[in-house]
Amino acid sequence: MKMNFAKTRYYLSTRFRLILLAGSALTLALFGRGVAVADLVAVGDFNGDGHPDFVLENFGTQQTAIWYMNNNVFVSGLFGPTLPVGGWDVEAVGDFNGDGHPDFVLQGGAGNQQTGIWYMNNNVFVGALFGPTLPFM
């Protein structure tokens, strides 16, 4: 049977299954009790190998994960920190403290224009500061 990779691609590891369906967002399904789905929210080189990696977030549990990539190939993945309750989400990544590691840029939930910077070392949270409050537009 010939697979049509234009419609569906599966990348498997022992813990993660990435499903890429034509016209949909990237999703992460964790094996185990129930199924958790996460979205690709940012890209940055978290392990310092020169290749961009995926940052995934499960909007139901607030769990983050880093997927280490080599071009378009999934290499491995690790869980990142769980985000605080109240609808905080990862909006972007950037090296805010100049340590050579991408950090998470967070924004509060509905009606909360507060931003925050989570300083990261690979997939490990090492500290945080509030950023500016964004104006309502």
Per-residue pLDDT reduced to its tens digit, 92-119: 999 999 999 999 999 987 778 899 999 9
Q: What pLDDT sits at residue 5? A: 35
Q: What pLDDT sits at residue 86? A: 83
CA dist 121 and 9 (Å) reads 31
pTM of this prediction?
Answer: 0.73
Q: What pLDDT sits at residue 109? A: 74
Q: What pLDDT sits at residue 26? A: 41
SS3 breakdown of the chain: % helix, strand, coil, rounded to 5? 0, 55, 45
How far apart, in Å, do the first and last CA atoms of the chain sit? 53
CA dist 21 and 5 (Å) reads 9
Q: What pLDDT sits at residue 55? A: 94
Q: What pLDDT sits at residue 82? A: 95
Q: How far is CA 103 from CA 12, 76, 99, in A?
A: 27, 20, 10
The least confident of 1-5, 56-60, 88-92, 102-106 is 1-5
Radius of gyration, alpha carbons of the chain:
16
Reduced to 3 states (helix: H, G, I; strand: E, B; else coil), residue 46 is: coil
Reduced to 3 states (helix: H, G, I; strand: E, B; else coil), residue 47 is: coil
Asked whether the predicted pLDDT for residue 83 surpasses 80, the reply is yes
**What is the pLDDT averaged over residues 53-67?**
90
Percent of the chain with pLDDT over 90: 54
CA dist 90 and 43 (Å) reads 11
Q: How far is CA 132 from CA 84, 105, 108, 116, 129, in A?
A: 18, 11, 11, 8, 10
Q: Residue 51 — very low, low, confident or very high, per pLDDT cuts 50/70/90?
A: very high
CA dist 102 and 97 (Å) reads 9
> Model confidence over 6-48: pLDDT tens digits?
333 333 333 343 443 333 344 444 333 344 577 889 999 999 9
